[in-house]
Amino acid sequence: MTPSAPDTPLRAALLKAARTLLERRGEDGVTIREVARRAGCALRSVYLHFPDRAALVRAVRAERLARLAGDLESVRFRRGDPRGRVRAALAVYASFHDREPDTFRALFDPAIVGNATAEETAAFGADLERVLAVFARGLVESAAASRRRASRVARAKPPAEPRARALALLSAAHGALAMKRCFGTDPERFFWSQIGSVVDWLSSSPSSVPDRSAT
């Protein structure tokens, strides 16, 4: 879900150029002049879609989060073990981090929000909730499957606060992604060894996260 804006080939080209600059040069390397040059348009044409550079960077941020949310949601419809779907969603999340590290950082950089409009803020928040919902649903389904295997009871109470568990999982994933280049010679093995135990814990311990909704 992104804020309403004219969906034109030029706007798409501007976003692509800005995204490329963001990845190659960082946020400070995104300039209106260079974006216009790469998109093959006049400088004034950029301002028909974006009032300033900050708005352009925010648009890239919003577009990439919406794309990430869509990619994660597609994992929900895969067949197989629920815990496997949680791991598949984490793989999508980690792949985005590795493929577009500067864009990934921009998603969660409060300095980039700047003078975001209410519409931009609402749309970004809605897409972030879509991301959380994928992991929350996956953890609920995985916990239910674990309890069914353990007790052979078809109906089981969902774990406390699925959204809180999803936040805990993504917090752990962010930490492991930030640290994986610093430990050992196999970053991927490090990431999955750390995050795998978190998935197992959050998927199988229904009372480990306090249920504040009952208070």
The percentage of residues in the chain with a pLDDT greater than 90, rounded to a whole number, is: 43
CA 166 to chain CA centroid, Å, is: 12
Whether 33 maps to a domain, the answer reads: no
Cβ-proximal residues to 146 (8 Å cutoff; 6+ apart), any chain: 83, 203, 204
How far apart CA 203 and CA 146 sit, in angstroms, is 7
Highest mean pLDDT among 63-72, 79-88, 105-114: 63-72
Number of domains comprising the chain: 1
Domain assignment present for residue 3? The answer is: no
- 3-class secondary-structure state, position 42: coil
Between the alpha carbon of residue 142 and those of residues 20, 105, 134, 193, 205, the distances in Å are 37, 29, 12, 19, 11
Q: Are 140 and 188 a contacting pair, CB within 8 Å?
A: no
d(CA 172, CA 161): 17
**Cα distance between residue 17 and residue 10, in whole Å:** 10
Kindly report, residue by residue over 77-89, the tens digit of the pLDDT. Answer: 777 788 888 999 9
Question: For residue 119, what is the domain's CATH number?
Answer: 1.10.357
Q: pLDDT tens digits, residue range 113-148?
A: 767 888 998 999 899 999 999 998 888 888 787 777
Q: Could you tell me if residue 174 is inside a domain?
A: yes
Q: Is the pLDDT of residue 43 over 60?
A: yes
Domain residues for the domain of 189 are: 61-209
**Domain assignment present for 116:** yes
